[in-house]
């Protein structure tokens, strides 16, 4: 009977960006709407603030992800170029270095040397990139992908509380937006945890707690400044 293991580490890059974007979209927009509403603003002003927050937030997420992941990519490329030069200048030393890595992982000296020789004969740079530097295709930096996922999921997340603010008005607005946003966050946290193979309950509680805290703090700020104004 065959046994097939399903690994999820290849999802790390896009999953992190997607979850961060959607979570930030819900939390920041819902908090902004609640804070402005708590300051006794009109529904038009609340919606204006929400739309502005959506656009600014999506662009900020895209730019932030692109810049940060590009920095990671630049570092990875610099390391790969350094490894290329080392292989060209002293192939035998690099082969011995790779063999020592395999020895530290548990292989005997002769077997480690043989493995290093065969892997480097197949693709020397790939062997060193993977086993010496620790860069793999699954975990390599992809700036454009991260930026697109973050901006897109932020927009989707932000649109949910914004739609509620457009539908509901008056005294119920804060309550409806807060409760619905917390439900959205719980579902997001559970779904992200499931996609990553983690506990759905922990994932839901984690994002819901921080979302509730952010909304509560902005409601207090909105109330205080609304009274002062």
pLDDT at 112: 84
pLDDT digits (tens, 9 = 90+) for 53-90: 999 999 998 898 888 888 877 888 888 888 888 888 88
Three-state secondary-structure class, residue 82: helix
CA 70 vs. chain centroid, Å, equals 14
Residue numbers of the chain with a pLDDT score lower than 50: 1-11, 228-229
Which residue ranges make up each domain of the chain?
Answer: 10-67+144-228
- What are the C-alpha distances in Å from 30 to residues 42, 182, 213? 16, 9, 12
Q: Is 101 exposed, middle or buried (0-12, 13-18, 19+ CB in 10 A)?
A: middle
Whole-angstrom distance, CA of residue 74 vs CA of residue 67:
10
Determine contact, residues 76/141, Cβ cutoff 8 Å: yes
Q: What is the pLDDT of residue 3?
A: 44
Q: Tell me the CA distances in angstroms from 49 to 35, 106, 180, one per residue in order.
A: 10, 59, 19
The pLDDT, as a whole number, for residue 228 is: 43
Which tokens go with 114? 């043989």
């Amino acid at each position: 009977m065959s046994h097939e293991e399903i690994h999820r580490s290849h999802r790390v890059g896009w999953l992190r960006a997607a979850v961060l974007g959607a979570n930030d979209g819900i939390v920041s927009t819902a908090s902004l709407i609640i804070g402005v509403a708590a300051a006794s603003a009109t529904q038009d002003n609340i919606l204006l603030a929400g739309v502005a927050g959506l656009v600014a937030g999506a662009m900020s997420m895209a730019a932030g992800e692109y810049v940060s992941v590009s920095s990671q990519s630049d570092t990875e490329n610099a390391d790969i170029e350094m490894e290329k030069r080392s292989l060209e200048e002293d192939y035998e030393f690099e082969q011995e270095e790779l063999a020592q890595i395999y020895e530290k992982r548990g292989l005997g000296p002769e077997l480690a040397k043989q493995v290093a020789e065969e892997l480097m004969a197949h693709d020397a740079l790939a062997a060193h990139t993977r086993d010496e530097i620790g860069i793999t295709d699954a975990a390599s930096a992809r700036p454009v992908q991260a930026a697109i996922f973050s901006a897109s999921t932020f927009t989707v997340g932000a649109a949910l509380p914004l739609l509620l603010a457009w539908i509901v008005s008056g005294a119920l607005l804060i309550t409806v937006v807060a409760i619905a946003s917390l439900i959205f966050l719980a579902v997001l946290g559970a779904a992200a945890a499931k996609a990553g193979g983690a506990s759905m309950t922990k994932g839901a509680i984690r994002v819901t707690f921080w979302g509730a805290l952010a909304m509560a703090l902005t409601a207090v700020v909105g109330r205080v400044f609304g009274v002062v104004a």
